Homo-oligomer: A and B are copies of this chain.
Amino acid sequence: MTERTRSVWGWGWANEIPSGDALADLAAQVSAVLGAQVAPRPGPTRDAIRLAPPSVGPPADVASFCTTDAGERIAHTYGKSYCDQVRAFRGDFTGAPDFVALPRSDEEIAALIRACEGAGVALVPYGGGTSVVGGVEARSGAEPPRGKRGVVACDLRHLDRVLEVDLASRAARIQAGATGPRLEAQLAAHDLSMRHYPQSFEFSTLGGWIATRAGGHFATLYTHVDDLVESVRMITPRGVWESRRLPASGAGPSPDRLVLGSEGIFGVVTEAWVRVQARPRWRAGASVHFGRFDDAVAAARAIAQSGLYPSNCRVLDEREAMMNRVTVDGSSVLVLGFESADHPLEPWMDRALSICEDLGGKLPKEPDYRGEGAKSRADDAGAAWRKAFLRGPYLQSALVSLGVVADTFETACTWSAFADLRARVTSAVEAAMKEACGGGVVSCRFTHVYPDGPAPYFTFVAPGRDGAELEQWRAIKTAASEALAACGATITHHHAVGRVHRPWYDRERPEPFAAALRGAKAALDPAGVMNPGVLVD
């Protein structure tokens, strides 16, 4: 394997971000869509980045696994949000952590927490650093968090092993620092798979998924990591939080569900037993075209309520379909998929397609069946869509390098609320783009569908003004978030809260629940060292 370098400012591997001719092509394409000329700009060079010296160094007790290396501090400054990438592209690393810890055991993490309590240092748990909501950025500018002398990023990359596999129960004990590819490679040795594929899969970690309630790419059923967790081990300032391995329980509120989504405010998740699966032997895929978006939505709803549980059931509106090159005729598309390790899928797909046909869906190509006894055919639309899904984050980085304001946001709402929500969000974002950028494009798709509602996912692209992109982005993001709040939808279906979504999160949650969280936080982390500023103050 070639040694690859992580981009200092953008998503993932540096050499995977479009550059050269590919970037020029993208620039031409985006210029045409936006009606404004965009062009490549030079990115930062590592040598030109100036870091302030650490305001606090590693306490002696934990110095053996901590570093103040500039490269490590730079690499742990940001997540991968639009704002993170813009600031990094400018070479602005003002908020770098003072030092980085690289523990190799739970004991070292417990020692680090104690040392942080003693030294007044804020501890930010760091998995893949793929947060798009400021989840790993404890400093706001140069200042450390209130009442703290500095910040340490606690990177779990050395805790990346599958420790135990229970074949009969289809479960595995996995360390929190394992990335998607790392844990899948180890599970593959047992012919198992976790099959949790968030878009950040390549870099994000099990611990990060748990801390942020990550959503996988399956459209229905067990797709949020919440449902894949059998038990969790977390090191808190009050000791080890470890739940029993239970398929289900009715013994009080679920301890795991309080860890899920806690975003590091209670402790550092170090391992979990998760539910795994046999690798699929049968797959079925189809792309159904609809002249009217509303009909595609109706079909997705009927399938979500049918009990068929497809692994894929994504609606792309006409803009999404065109931008992803799935259709070019203005159709909306429903991308359908089923998969199973147990049985051929024709009856499932047949019934789902019959639902689509009843609602006006057209099947330009026969469905694609793969597996024993099935004829295999290429399903171009599905394949094109999947490729676009995995390339998405790299594309955003390319747009950042072009000075384009480009981001996504997502929510969930009831079926009855969706039409109004889409209209209000689209018009709010269009108005904000017009005002801040002179124009732009917003599109919508569903990433997940539930019996009671979809998870709509919006993408917007607008021309940026050099140096003003952050303010432009903020105006659009605020308009979008206010529109979601006005519709009673959630500020996030799977991107988490972090620091970016905090104002809308505070309005979304019941106030007594906020009081309960503060009470729990005070009991577990009285010194307030764990990821301060996230979820509660």
- 20 residue pairs A–B, Cβ–Cβ below 8 Å: A170-B452, A238-B511, A240-B510, A243-B509, A246-B490, A248-B455, A249-B490, A249-B493, A251-B261, A251-B490, A251-B497, A251-B505, A252-B261, A252-B262, A252-B517, A253-B258, A307-B309, A307-B340, A307-B342, A519-B520
A515–B236 Cα gap in the complex (Å)?
11
The interface stretch among A61-69, A325-333, A407-415 is: A407-415
Nearest residue (CB) in B for A242 is B510
Is B250 within 8 A of A261, CB to CB?
A: yes
Chain A 341-370: CB-based contact to B (< 8 A → 1; otherwise 0): 111000100010000000000000000000
Nearest residue (CB) in B for A346 is B347
Known contacts A257-B258, A516-B266, A523-B515; is-contact A247 B495 (Cβ 8 Å): no
Is A169 within 8 A of B512, CB to CB?
A: no
Is A239 within 8 A of B305, CB to CB?
A: no
Which of B241, B247, B450, B455 touches A455 (beta carbons < 8 Å)?
B247
Is A257 within 8 A of B255, CB to CB?
A: no
Most chain B CB inside 10 Å of its own CB: which residue of A170, A236, A251, A341: A251
What 16 new A-B contacts, CB under 8 Å, besides A238-B511, A257-B257, A519-B524? A169-B415, A170-B305, A213-B249, A226-B254, A248-B412, A248-B448, A248-B490, A250-B495, A251-B490, A252-B505, A255-B509, A275-B451, A309-B309, A512-B524, A519-B520, A520-B520
A227–B226 Cα gap in the complex (Å)?
12
Is A166 within 8 A of B250, CB to CB?
A: no
A interface list, Cβ under 8 A from B: 166-171, 212-215, 224, 226, 230, 234, 236, 238-255, 257-263, 266-267, 275, 277-278, 301, 305-309, 340-343, 347, 351, 412-417, 448, 450-455, 488-497, 501, 505, 508-513, 515-524, 535
Is B252 within 8 A of A263, CB to CB?
A: yes
Q: How many chain copies?
A: 2
Is B509 within 8 A of A252, CB to CB?
A: yes
Nearest residue (CB) in B for A259 is B253
Nearest residue (CB) in B for A305 is B170
Known contacts A452-B230, A508-B244; is-contact A250 B519 (Cβ 8 Å): no
Known contacts A253-B257, A520-B517; is-contact A488 B448 (Cβ 8 Å): no
A170–B450 Cα gap in the complex (Å)?
10
Please indicate the chain B residues that have their CB under 8 angstroms from the CB of A517 in the complex: 252-253, 520
Which of B258, B259, B448, B516 touches A523 (beta carbons < 8 Å)?
B516
Is A521 within 8 A of B524, CB to CB?
A: no
